[in-house]
Structure formats: C-alpha cells, structure tokens
Structure 1
Amino acid sequence: MIERFGYGVIRWRYWILLATLVSTALAVVASLSLKFEADYRVFFNEDNPQLLAFEALQDTYAKDDNVVFVLAPRDGRVFTRETLQAVAWLTEEAWQIPYSNRVDSITNFQHTYAEGDDIIVEDLISDAKDLTEADIARIRDIVLREPQLVNNLISPTAHVTGVNVTVQLPDRASDEKTPEIVAFARDLRRTLRADHPDIEVYITGLVPTNNAFLEVSQRDMMVLVPAMFGVILLLLWLLLHFLSGVIATILVIVSSTMIAMGLTGIIGIPLTAVSNIAPVVILTLAIANSVHILTGFRRSLHEKDKYAAIAESLRINLTPVFLVSLTTTIGFLTLNFGEIPPLRDLGNIVAMGVTVAFILSVMFLPALMAIFPAPPPLLATASGVRAMRGLGEFVVRRRTLLMWCTMGVTLTLIAFLPRNELDDEYLKYYDESMDIRIASDFTIENLTGLQRINYSLNAGEEWGICRPEFLHKVARFAAWYREQPEVVHVDSIVDTLKQLNQNMHGDDPAYYHLPERRDLSAQYLLFYEMSLPYGLDLNNQIDMHKSATRLIATVQGLSDNELLALEGRAQRWLRENAPALQTHGVGASMIFANVSYRNLRSLLLGAVIALLVISLILVVASRSVKFGLISMIPNLVPMTMAFGLWGMLVTKVNLGLSGVAIITMGIVVDDTIHFLNKYLHARRKQNLESPDAVRYAFDRAGVALWTTSLTLVAGFLVLTLSSFSLNSSMGIMTAMIIVLALFTDFLLLPPLLMKWDGSRVLKP
C-alpha cells in the first residue's frame, strides 16, 4: 500500500508541486494579517483570578499603566538650577504624551504649608529658572523629608529623580497605542538630552515594558530567522552532500513554515514574544523528516532506479516519519494544558507546522526528487556509515558496561533534581543589552522599585476611610511594610492626612499624626481635594465614595518566590492585627508570581496525558507492550538527566522551561522510533538475533539519527540568540535534552533491547 502511495506521488508529481506552490503563496498572503500583541496581560488567561482582581482595583482607582523618566545628572546632584529646570520642562511636556492623565514629579508635587490662618496648596517649584541658592536648599530639605517622594521620585542621596506619567489606554487598543506613547516619550528624551547634555535620561515603566515585548519580537525575527537559515544551509550541505537534496529540503521547510504562519493568521492567533519563535522551531523540526527520506533514497539507489528508490524510501520511512510527526505534534499540543496563552499559541502554531511538514515531506519532497536528476548513491564506505558500524560493534561488545554506566550517570544527575526551584523575575525577561532592561536595572539600583503590591483596604461604608480606628489600622499596616527589608517605598493616604493635620496646626511638628476625629479627617480631605489642580487629585488613593483606600508597597527587584513570601507575611499580619481589612495584594508582579505555579500544575496533567498517549503509540507501532515500554526509558531518561544537570548548574526554572519537558517528550521519540523500527525490521523480517539486529539498526539508522539530532541541536541553540530569556532558556534546555536523548538511544536503548529481547525469533 505504501509502495503504491510512493508511485502515486511520482505519477502526480507536477500537480503536487503546483498545489504546494499555490498553497504557499496563499499562506504568504494570509500571513500578512498576523498581528503582534504588546501587553503583559497576554501572558494570562482572561479569567485569571489575580488579573481580574488587579483590573477591579484599577477600575476603582487610577490605572498603573505608566511611563517613568529617570533623570541622572552626571554631577550627581538633582538640586541644581539646570537639573530642576529640566525636570520642570519634562513635567510640563509629559502632559502631551498620548493618553496621559497624570504627571508626578518633585516640581509639581503638591506642597502644603500654613500661612497665617490659611493653608497653601501649590506646586513645590513654580518657576525653576528663577530659583536662588537659598530656594534650592529649602526645596531640597522639603523633598528629602517627604515620605511620598523619597525612594519614589527622588533618591535618598538626591542624585537621581523621576517623572512618572500615568496613561489611560483605550480598552483593547494597547497594541496600537503603546508604540505611539513610547515613541513620543523617546522624542521628549531626545529633546531633553539635546538641551541638557549633562543629564542622562532612562525610560521605564509598564508601557515601555509592554512595548519591549513587541520590540523583542521584531528583534528576534531579524536575528533568529536569518541565523537559522544560515545554520540550515551549512548543515544540509554537510549532511546531504548533494545540491538537489539541499534545495528540496529548503523548499519543504520554508513552505511548511509559511503555510503554518498563514494558518495562524487565518485562525487569528496573535504573535507574542514567546509564540514569535514558532517559525524557528518549525524550520528546525521540519528538517528531520526530509533527512531520513533523502538518506533512505540515496541508499536505495545502489540497487534501484530513481523512481523505485523513491518508492522504497517512502516504504521504509513513511511509518516512522508519521509516528515521529504524530508524537511531536502531541507534545506541542499538550502545551494547551498550561496557563500561559503565549505558550499555548506556540504549541498550536508548531503543531500545525509539524503536520504540514510531514505532508510535504512524504509528498512534495518525493515529487521534487522525481523531477530533479538522481544524486549519486550513498556509499556504504562513507565515513559516517563506517563510524556508525564501529559504534554499533562497540555497543554490542560492551553492552553490560554501557548499560550500568549510563544508569549510574542518570541516577547521579537525578539526585540533583530537587535543587531545581520554580522561580522567575519577569523584569529580567529581557537581555541586558536592551534599553528597557538597562533602564529598569538602573532605576531599581538608584531610585525605586518597579514591582508593586497594591491593597484596596475597605472601610465598609461611605466616608468610612475617615474613621480614626480605620486610619490607625492602615497606618500600622503601612508602618509594618516600611519595616520589611524588601520594601523601598509605601504610598498611603495616611501620610497626606498627617501632613494636613500638621498644617492645620500652624505647621507644628508635634501634630504630625492622624486627626483624632472623623469629621476632621473628612474636612481635611475635602479641603485638600478642592485645592488640587487638574490631574493631581486623590483618585489614585481613595475611591469615589471614600469607602476604601489604596496602599501601595513598592519592592526592589524580587523574584516570584520572594514576592509571594513577602505577600504571605503581609496576609499573616492582616489576619492577626486587622482581620476586617484583609485583602490579597495585587499587581502585575503578583500575577506573574502566581501564574508559574498554576502553569506547572496544569502542565503536569498535560505531561501525564502526553506520556500515556506516546507510550500507547509506541506500543501500537512496535506491536508489543514490552518494546513500547522499553522504548520509553530512553525518552524519559534524557529529561530527568537534563533537569538534574540544570539543578546542578543553575537551579532556577522559569516559565519557558516549565513546558520543555512536554515539548521534548514528543521530539526525542524521533531517534527511538527510527532505531526501534530498524531493529524490529531486522528481527522480524530478516530473523536476525538481537545483537545483529542492533548492528543493523546502527548501520541503517545511525547516520540519519546523529545528523537529525545535530540539526535539532543547532536549531534550538539558535534560540539562545534571542533577547527574551524565556526563549533562550527554552532553547538551551531543549538542545541539552536532544543531546542526552541521542546519548541514551545509542548507549542505553541497544543494551536494554539485547537484555530484555533475548535471542528468540520474532514473528513478522
């Protein structure tokens, strides 16, 4: 039946060629509808509880979407006339940033003070160019004593300051508007640098971070795809040694990738910094099938003409190529069990690409080879074939030693598995060469943190936030947070009320405490709100009914586990000291911190299902439960060894690595299926004993196995060039697992087969 299929492909070769070219052309057109999503929210399901809680908080108060300008004068002094003029200019111009609705800096900070019987509320600096040295000294003293500013908009040593711009992005339009906002911000930075060359300006915040997702995607496309093509061309020429085979394989993998991306555009799957690497993964995986079929084709040319050799290669390789494609597709599809939409999208896109690559490998590739002139046969004396025969002989002779040594190495590495820790730092997703990473690192080290834990503390009634007992609990909670070593700043309405109470008593420092009566707090707040200019109201701290207030704890460069531990301590404090106020901390950082564990739990279920399905496929393919189970050993061992090695050298497992085990489970089966297929063919068709069947498998499959593994390793190592750490770490781990899989398929699987298969003759 397969032979008839092969001759059918040859017969209809020109129609297959035409259909493939038309499909590819249509896919190119469809791929033009692909869209990128530049928003950290794409990493979470729409029903993610932490995301919903954060969005509810932002609906109640002001949004957290912001652009932060960090100004660092080279002389290390913010409080000079030139620097303050620059801050004032930027504060004014930042209002022109698209969708901005609030700008905060030390110059427009609403300073309150008593003047006779009046309370004055005004910008701290109204005209920077007219400041005297005495004015600057007075302003410096005010700023460095203000808890709302220090470690927020000014460093304690006054060497760095910030301008925070809050933006109100239209719903569902952030992808289009984010680049516009960042471009405007960069124009402001360019102008400021031109006017003040002695001031360095960094841009960070949630909006630039979102925009970096888009920029890293574009950067990766410009770097990874050309690099992958260079690697592919080099490897194909080294492995195949004939031009027509290289051209045919290039056409197969390019068409597979383009059709998959076209289908992605038609379905409407968005591209993100993670799913953006799908073309590179498809290019890598699509090569293996072509190499197996072309290697078999050239071997068959010894005894057959071109058409018969094509049909024979398909007869030998169609089943294992199908099984390999099936298991690889299953591996990537099981990413749908995870909690990370971009990883699910990556799995679905690659699964489509692998499926298309299989179809083109068994139809388009043979059709092309039927049209191209026949290449020279693959010589049995070729160096690769001789090397595989020598390795096969060595494995047969040393099978017991190899089995125990391999198992010993495996057990040693498994011992390091517990050292792995699921942890991440989403602020470090970007390469250190990227502007956003440079700006974020500088901000964290010199000014303030970029991770926030937000609490909406509910008083339970309208104007309830003015109750003294409620305010005292909020003040105690804020004080507790300020005592935590991880916290750099706490923002709370209690600081404003304390300052107003002092102002109302002639600026007497003895009255820097909360008002003692509810009506006083209400009057102070009402007076203060009426005095504030447009855009600087209190809606970022209190809700419209005055029934709840927002407390923000800013932390400095914590990992997910450290962030969760801090929030856990906060929950314990609330439970023990203010149970009526207990609420979970929310924020972008908290969503990332929680999703890792949710994702891992979901992927564990996917891994179990993938393992069962792939095991069943191997059992059916080998027509033996024993061979199916034996063949799973060299597929599970590489993953445990790789993660053991990771535990020994790195220990931190991020979001990208959490899906690697499932992905590679389908990929590494490739070598096992081809080796086992040749082994069982020798046992059942040629009645060879187990050692001779191992020699036959090395002779017939060895070259193809190490060449395809080399290609896969090279392809996934290209991902290490990615500027996005989730992609680069995924590439490193996958390449490591593939190397270890080849190691176990050559050194562990044959000894296991010889030990458990025995010398009896197998039925065909």
Structure 2
Amino acid sequence: MNALKKASNVTNTFAKKWAEFVIKFKWPVLITTLILALGLGSQGNMEFDGDYHVFFSESNPELEAFDALQEKYTKDDNIVIVLSPSNGDIFTKENLIAIEELTAEAWNTPYSSRVDAVTNFQHTSAQGDDLYVDDLSYESASKTDAEIKIIKEKALKEPLLVNRILNEKGSVTAINVTVRLPGEDSAKEIPEVTAFIRGAISDFQEKHPNFQVHSSGLVPLNTAFFESSMRDMMLTMIMLIIVIITTLILTRNFFSTLATLVVVLFSIMSAIGFVGIMGIKLTPPSSVFPTMILTLAVADSIHILITMLQKMRKDGYTKKEALAESMRLNFMPVFITSLTTVIGFLTMNFGDVPPFWDLGNITAFGMTMAFIFSTTALPALMAILPVKVKEKKETTETEKLGWYTNLGLFVAKQPVKLTLISIAIISGLTYLATKNQFNDEFINYFDETVQFRSDTDYISNNLTGIYNVEFSVGSGESGGINNPQYLKKLNEFEDWLDEQPEVVHVNAFSEVARRVNRSMHGDNEAYYNVPSNREEAAQYLLLYELSLPFGLDLNNQINVDKSETRVTVTIENISSAEMIAFSKRAENWLKNNTPEPMHTIGVSPTLMFSKLGFRQADSMFKGNIIALILISLVLMFALRNFKLGLLSIIPNVTPVLVGFGFWAMYKAQINTGMVIVFGMTLGIIVDDTVHFMSKFLRARRELGYDSKQAVIYAFETVGKALVTTTIVLLAGFAVLSTSSFALNSYMARITVIIILAALIIDFILLPSLLILVSKKSETKAPVQELKPQVQLDK
C-alpha cells in the first residue's frame, strides 16, 4: 500500500508541477508549441495514389501470382465503354458508324495498346487454301441493309463476342480499350487516361445523343479510388465545424472552444508533416486521418476543460487554481488514454493492407502530438485567455442531485441485477456477432452515388460481368500449345468452365484454334474443333497471326515461346467466399483432369480483393491479441491494481462484441475496413474506462469513500466529460459514415455503435462490477442518503 501511495504521490506531484510550469511560462510554452506545429506542418506533402495495387503488400501471394501472369503476357489495364442505343439495336447503319467512330477515337487514348469492338472484331473466313481475317464491319457507311443483316447474324453466333463485347439481343455493346501504363507515376498516368476517355465520351454523346454511355474497368476503378480520397478529405471541413459547434454547446464557453480548436489544428498540422517526412502517399483508407485525429484529439482537451470549468463554476476556484487542479486530476488519465489509443492504431501494422498501416501510423503520430499539445498549448492558452464563468448559485439538496448523481444512485442500489441483465444482453449480441460473414467485392467498396459503381452495375445487368479469374495454362514445352493433346484438354477445360452457373464468358485459345480450323476447311461446321495434327495446328496459328492487324495480335493470350496460354473467365457479381470457392473448384478440375504441366492457380485483381478480407482478419488477429495484452498491462500499471486492471478488459472488449452483434442485424457482412475496428476502437473505448476508474480509485484512495460512494463520485466528476467526448466522437464518425467509400463508411458506422455501447457499458456494467469486486469497507452512509461529493475534493 505504501508503494501504491508513493507512486500516486509522484504522479500527482509531477502533474501539479507541470501545470504550474506551463501556467507560469504560458507565453514561451505557447510560442514553442506553435513553432513545433508550424515546423512539422511545413514538411507536409500530401500526394494521392489511386492505383488498386496499393491495397496489397509486396509479399501478398495473390499479387505475386498476378504479377507473374502479367509478365508472361501483356501487362495491361483497361477501360470498358458500353454503348446502348435508344432503338435497342446495335446493328443499324447509323449505330455501326457511331461505334466505328468511337473505336477509332479510342485508339488515341494515352498508353493504349489495343481496342476491341464489335466493328473491328477479327472475323475469319477462307477461300480455297487462303485464310482471310477482316474487321467484322469495316467502313460501315458503305454497307447495305442486307450486308448489315449478315454482320448481325455472324456477330450473334460468335462465342468470343457474345456476353463479352455484345449482349445476346444485340442491343448493348462494349468497346474495350487496353492501356499499358508505364507505372512510373500513377498519379499522372491514370488521370491522363481518365481525362481523355471522359472527353471522348462527352464528345460522342454530344454528337450521338441517342446513345447511353457507361464505363468501367481497372482504370475507372483506380480513378474512383482517387476521387473517393479527395471527397473524404473534404469531410474534415464539415467535421471541424461540427466539433466547434458541439464543443461550444457542451462547454458553454467560447475560449474553451477556441483552445480545443487550436489543439486540433496543431495536431492535424503535425500529422500532415509526418505524412510528408515519411513519404506516405494517401489512399482512400488513409486519407481520412484528419477526421480521425480531429475527432480523437478533442477528447483529451474536453476532459481537462470540463474539469476546469466545473471547479470554477461549482467550487469557486480561480482560473489558475482550477486549471492546475484539472491538470493534476487528468494528466495521468489523458496520458493513459492517449497511449492506449496509439497502441490501438499501431496494431494496424499487423494487417496485410498497406493503406491501413499508413492510417494507423499517421493517426498514432497525430494522437501523440495531440497529447503533447493538450498538456502544453491548451493550458497555456487557457491561462492567457480571459476565461470567466458564472458561479453556480446555492441550491436545495434536491436540486443538487443532478442527472449524473441520480444515475450513480440508480446503479449503486442494484449492481447485481444490472450486472446480470448486462451480461445477458451482451451474450446475446456476442452470439449474433458470429453470424457476420466476410464479403470483399471491390464493386461494393463504393455506394450507388459513385458513377463507377452505378455504371458497373448497369454493365453487369445488361452486358457482361466485370469480375474475372485468369489461368495461365502451361503445356510443359516450347511450342507445346499446338500439341493436339494440350488443345483437347484446354478445350475440355473451356467447356467445363462454360457449364459453371456463375460463369458469364470464357476467353480461351482453344476457341481461336477451333475457329481457324473451321475456316481452313471451307467454314465447314464439322471442323469446328481443335486440330488433331500438331503441324497443322502450328501452320494454322502462324497463318492466323500473320493475318492479324497491328494491335490485335495474340500476345495477350499466348506467351513468347508458345508454351502457355491465358484463359480469362468472366464471372457474375458473386461474394468473396463464392469467388474463392469457384477458383478452387477450377484449380481442382485441372489437377484431376489434365497432365501436371497444365496445373495452375487462378489469379486476378477480383480474386486478390476477395481474399484480402480473410487475409487481413488472420493477420489482425495476432495484432488485436497483442494490443489487448499491452493495453491491459498499461491499465494495471496506471491503476496500480492488478484485479481492476484485469476487470477493465470486460468494458473494453464487450462494446466491440456488441457492435458486431448489432451489425449482424444490420448488414451481416464484414469488409476489409471493418477488420481493423477492434484494434482501432479498443484504444478509443479505453478513454471512458480509464477516466471513470481513475475517479473511482481517487475517491477510494484519497477521500476514503466506500465502493458505492466512489461510484457516485465518479459519475459526478467525470460523467459529463464522458458524455461530451462521446457526443464529439459520435459526431465525427457519423460524418465519416457518409463517405461514399464503403471501407471508410462501414468502419465509421460500426464504430458509432461501438462508441455508444462503450458509454452505456461504462455507465451500467463497469460501476456495477466495481461495486461487486471492491473490498468491502464500512459504509459511511446509506446509499439513499448520499449527497453529491463535489465539495469533498476541494
């Protein structure tokens, strides 16, 4: 006990002396912190990276496999422009002319390497021993109605067109623009391509208003990521206004609001400097760091300010006395909550998604600076500003029993009953939490207000799927793709894929081999199969390749030494788990039905995103356990009580379980952004627990109260501050929940539920448990007769 008292005295003495130092040297302290904030802020350099690759670490096995596939073939990204004429028929002269014009313009796209459209589709035919490969509809203006009718019949029978470039009715078509970005500066290259495509579409619609135009693909996906980052940065301004108004209403003091604003701005400036110093490029998840810091930094200031104003209003302290006493009471709790918040955000580094590493590190640094500014700039500024409050008039005993006192009395009277009810509710919601499932469809990263999402949904419903899985199927030898046995097995794989319910389209070399074989036999349908002779197959392939125009070769399907071919499977919009299951099913089919050289794994950005949530969850599990242990150890040390430190785990963990329980009733789906919520909110939740328990222990140790009196004292002294900080936190995350980017909005929505649950649990379950586990001592007065304790700590 002597050791505990000694530690407590050391902490109190340091906090008191620190407060006196800051108040005495207020101007030098304020100027020093201003220079520090401006110095760090001057290093700020916020660059944005919208490339979807940023979501995957360099060691991500799916990314490694995908990069390996792109090295074998052409490394490319794409833009799909989908055209829907108002007359519902692509095959009219006017519509084909328009499509031909836009196809020609699409070749001017920066970094373009290939343009595929219905008009320039390479149709094969034969005359004698000669193979002819021509555009399906070249010079459409000169075509007669009869010729256009024949073109339509050919197009609607072509497997490489239907459900890929053309829908089954011939009412919707696509122009697929393939670009090979140098990859030197995605912040320049992607906007350059996007600007050109948007300009081309705008000009096309002005000239041909009878067409609806939608666009999707990997380049628009990257653009959507970039634009989401910019929009979410703008939420910071909205949040800043809300924080100012909320703080002003709750503290009822203009100068307190001004001081809070200074701390927040200093913290954000410092974090921006950290971004520049570390060379971090912002992404949609990491771009919300100003809102995070803004929301969280307010909590430190609120606790110090509300205690100070309470001392001035209720206890008659002078401004400097109240400021010094508030610093003494709150220095250690604010330090502990800042430390646990930093630990919580640093656990994001255990995950497998680099943008969340950046968010965690930037916010952790910002919260460290927020603590420094809250204990330097804030008290210095409050010592300078002419803060005045109206002293509370003497009131009757009944009036003295305020809302927080009555809540304390309510809890103190029935701790057993409240504990049992709380445990029952929490248990039920914890069970529901297990019903949540991972689903990381990258299309659902954006809500319907984002054009990329609405365009992609239209394309999926009216033309083709935008999810795909790719397989690089090897033959085991150079030139082996002409081996009849290889072609036969490849053909069987293509047929099996076509039979799968989720498959929309299959693009495989075996289809090219069948078409050329048929053409080389006078377009006889009996020869619509893969060649049975290796020499013939090699000759046909060479003839076909020589007939293809520049830019429409087979390099995107066949590797350099003709030992492997690329099979691209277009899939319906299915869940992450279904996507992974399909890929595994296809891999198993190859293992069971083909020779070993043909065994391969499925890869694609779609599959990478599908596996991302599961990989992130596995990675974060260890991080969350470490964070929980570290935070519990910090609390045990800070509270100087092993039993209460252990007890604190309950109110720190249960809000997260409650949050995911409610989420199961709301969405029942978890994405990558929500996996980090446990570690992130753990640090935030601790704020309520630490402040409540520190006031409870102060009442027990310094004022000699029993457990029930101490609980009431804690409600009276810290209840308002906890409610105030919770309201600010709720406001901040509520603003973030309006983000059009689902990783951010879903994370914010569940955080709102968790923060609200944390306050309720800390007001109901925590005090009940504190009463039940505290050592019994002589009760000074019956609970019903307890009076407010605000005068006793003077």
Q: Is the TM-score greater than 0.5?
A: yes
Distance 1:283 1:385, change over 3 A: farther
In the alignment, the residues of structure 1 paired with residue 29 and residue 574 of structure 2 have an alpha-carbon distance, to the nearest angstrom, of 56
In the alignment, the residues of structure 1 paired with residue 639 and residue 38 of structure 2 have an alpha-carbon distance, to the nearest angstrom, of 39
1:17 is displaced (CA, Å) by 1.7
Kept in 2, the 8 Å contact 1:298–1:378? The answer is no
Is 1:87 equivalent to 2:99 in the alignment? Answer: yes
What residue is the counterpart of 1:569 in the other structure? Answer: 585
Is 1:184 equivalent to 2:201 in the alignment? Answer: no
Q: State the TM-score, normalized to the length of structure 2.
A: 0.94
Distance 1:483 1:368, change over 3 A: same
1:579 is displaced (CA, Å) by 4.4
In the alignment, the residues of structure 1 paired with residue 307 and residue 756 of structure 2 have an alpha-carbon distance, to the nearest angstrom, of 23
Aligned partner (choices 497, 505, 518) of residue 502 of structure 1? 518
**Deviation sequence 1:419-478 (CA, Å, 0-9, x none):** 111222111111211111111111111111111111111111111000000011111111
Is 1:715 equivalent to 2:725 in the alignment? Answer: no
Aligned partner (choices 518, 530, 537) of residue 521 of structure 1? 537
In the alignment, the residues of structure 2 paired with residue 350 and residue 156 of structure 1 have an alpha-carbon distance, to the nearest angstrom, of 51
What residue is the counterpart of 2:792 in the other structure? Answer: none
Kept in 1, the 8 Å contact 2:440–2:612? The answer is no
Letter in 1 for 2:753: M
Mapping for residues 261-660 of structure 1, pairs under 5 Å: 261-301=272-312, 302-376=315-389, 379=392, 386-580=402-596, 581-660=598-677
**Deviation sequence 1:66-88 (CA, Å, 0-9, x none):** 01110011121111112111110
What residue is the counterpart of 2:784 in the other structure? Answer: none
In the alignment, the residues of structure 2 paired with residue 308 and residue 686 of structure 1 have an alpha-carbon distance, to the nearest angstrom, of 20
SS of 1:452's equivalent in the other structure is strand
What residue is the counterpart of 1:122 in the other structure? Answer: 134
In the alignment, the residues of structure 2 paired with residue 146 and residue 193 of structure 1 have an alpha-carbon distance, to the nearest angstrom, of 28
Kept in 1, the 8 Å contact 2:76–2:181? The answer is no
SS of 1:66's equivalent in the other structure is strand
Aligned partner (choices 239, 255, 258) of residue 266 of structure 2? 255
What residue is the counterpart of 1:733 in the other structure? Answer: 750
1:289 is displaced (CA, Å) by 0.7
1:263 is displaced (CA, Å) by 1.2
SS of 1:729's equivalent in the other structure is helix
Kept in 2, the 8 Å contact 1:299–1:377? The answer is no
1:230 is displaced (CA, Å) by 2.3
1:175 is displaced (CA, Å) by 2.3
Is 1:30 equivalent to 2:43 in the alignment? Answer: yes
Distance 1:84 1:578, change over 3 A: same
Mapping for residues 689-700 of structure 1, pairs under 5 Å: 689-700=706-717
Kept in 1, the 8 Å contact 2:41–2:271? The answer is no
SS of 1:85's equivalent in the other structure is helix
Percent same amino acid at aligned positions?
Answer: 43
Q: How large is the RMSD of aligned CA atoms in angstroms?
A: 1.5
Letter in 1 for 2:454: I
**Deviation sequence 1:711-746 (CA, Å, 0-9, x none):** 111111111110100100000111100100111100
In the alignment, the residues of structure 2 paired with residue 216 and residue 75 of structure 1 have an alpha-carbon distance, to the nearest angstrom, of 35
Distance 1:137 1:58, change over 3 A: same
1:300 is displaced (CA, Å) by 2.5
Kept in 2, the 8 Å contact 1:66–1:205? The answer is yes
In the alignment, the residues of structure 2 paired with residue 752 and residue 658 of structure 1 have an alpha-carbon distance, to the nearest angstrom, of 29
Kept in 2, the 8 Å contact 1:720–1:732? The answer is yes
1:552 is displaced (CA, Å) by 0.6
In the alignment, the residues of structure 2 paired with residue 278 and residue 513 of structure 1 have an alpha-carbon distance, to the nearest angstrom, of 58
SS of 1:550's equivalent in the other structure is strand
In the alignment, the residues of structure 1 paired with residue 455 and residue 743 of structure 2 have an alpha-carbon distance, to the nearest angstrom, of 20
Kept in 1, the 8 Å contact 2:228–2:284? The answer is yes
Kept in 2, the 8 Å contact 1:560–1:593? The answer is yes
Q: Which segment drifts farther, 489-498 or 304-313?
A: 304-313
Letter in 2 for 1:230: I
What residue is the counterpart of 2:216 in the other structure? Answer: 204
In the alignment, the residues of structure 2 paired with residue 380 and residue 564 of structure 1 have an alpha-carbon distance, to the nearest angstrom, of 68
What residue is the counterpart of 2:785 in the other structure? Answer: none
Aligned partner (choices 47, 52, 77) of residue 65 of structure 1? 77
Distance 1:700 1:426, change over 3 A: same
In the alignment, the residues of structure 2 paired with residue 542 and residue 268 of structure 1 have an alpha-carbon distance, to the nearest angstrom, of 39
Kept in 2, the 8 Å contact 1:67–1:208? The answer is yes
SS of 1:46's equivalent in the other structure is coil
Letter in 2 for 1:478: E
Aligned partner (choices 187, 194, 197) of residue 175 of structure 1? 187
In the alignment, the residues of structure 2 paired with residue 380 and residue 608 of structure 1 have an alpha-carbon distance, to the nearest angstrom, of 50
Kept in 1, the 8 Å contact 2:316–2:391? The answer is no
Mapping for residues 31-50 of structure 1, pairs under 5 Å: 31=44, 33-50=45-62
Letter in 2 for 1:268: G
Kept in 1, the 8 Å contact 2:112–2:179? The answer is yes
In the alignment, the residues of structure 2 paired with residue 372 and residue 688 of structure 1 have an alpha-carbon distance, to the nearest angstrom, of 36
Kept in 1, the 8 Å contact 2:165–2:175? The answer is yes
In the alignment, the residues of structure 2 paired with residue 152 and residue 132 of structure 1 have an alpha-carbon distance, to the nearest angstrom, of 26
Equivalences, count: 760
In the alignment, the residues of structure 2 paired with residue 380 and residue 39 of structure 1 have an alpha-carbon distance, to the nearest angstrom, of 62
What residue is the counterpart of 2:252 in the other structure? Answer: 241
Unaligned runs of 5+ in 1: none
In the alignment, the residues of structure 1 paired with residue 775 and residue 36 of structure 2 have an alpha-carbon distance, to the nearest angstrom, of 50
Q: Which segment drifts farther, 111-120 or 87-96?
A: 111-120
Aligned partner (choices 113, 123, 134) of residue 101 of structure 1? 113
1:63 is displaced (CA, Å) by 2.5
In the alignment, the residues of structure 2 paired with residue 605 and residue 101 of structure 1 have an alpha-carbon distance, to the nearest angstrom, of 45
In the alignment, the residues of structure 1 paired with residue 698 and residue 231 of structure 2 have an alpha-carbon distance, to the nearest angstrom, of 47
1:384 is displaced (CA, Å) by 11
Q: State the TM-score, normalized to the length of structure 1.
A: 0.98
Kept in 2, the 8 Å contact 1:244–1:375? The answer is no
1:406 is displaced (CA, Å) by 0.9
Letter in 2 for 1:274: P
In the alignment, the residues of structure 1 paired with residue 560 and residue 674 of structure 2 have an alpha-carbon distance, to the nearest angstrom, of 44
What residue is the counterpart of 2:89 in the other structure? Answer: 77
Kept in 1, the 8 Å contact 2:33–2:376? The answer is no
Q: Which segment drifts farther, 121-130 or 187-196?
A: 121-130
What residue is the counterpart of 1:677 in the other structure? Answer: 694
What residue is the counterpart of 1:748 in the other structure? Answer: 765
Kept in 1, the 8 Å contact 2:164–2:505? The answer is yes
In the alignment, the residues of structure 1 paired with residue 584 and residue 453 of structure 2 have an alpha-carbon distance, to the nearest angstrom, of 28
Kept in 1, the 8 Å contact 2:514–2:531? The answer is yes
In the alignment, the residues of structure 1 paired with residue 643 and residue 46 of structure 2 have an alpha-carbon distance, to the nearest angstrom, of 46
**Deviation sequence 1:496-548 (CA, Å, 0-9, x none):** 11111111111111111111100111001101111111100000110111111
Unaligned runs of 5+ in 2: 1-13, 780-794
**Deviation sequence 1:669-714 (CA, Å, 0-9, x none):** 1011000000000001111111000110001011101111111111
Kept in 2, the 8 Å contact 1:64–1:206? The answer is no
What residue is the counterpart of 1:19 in the other structure? Answer: 32
1:374 is displaced (CA, Å) by 2.3
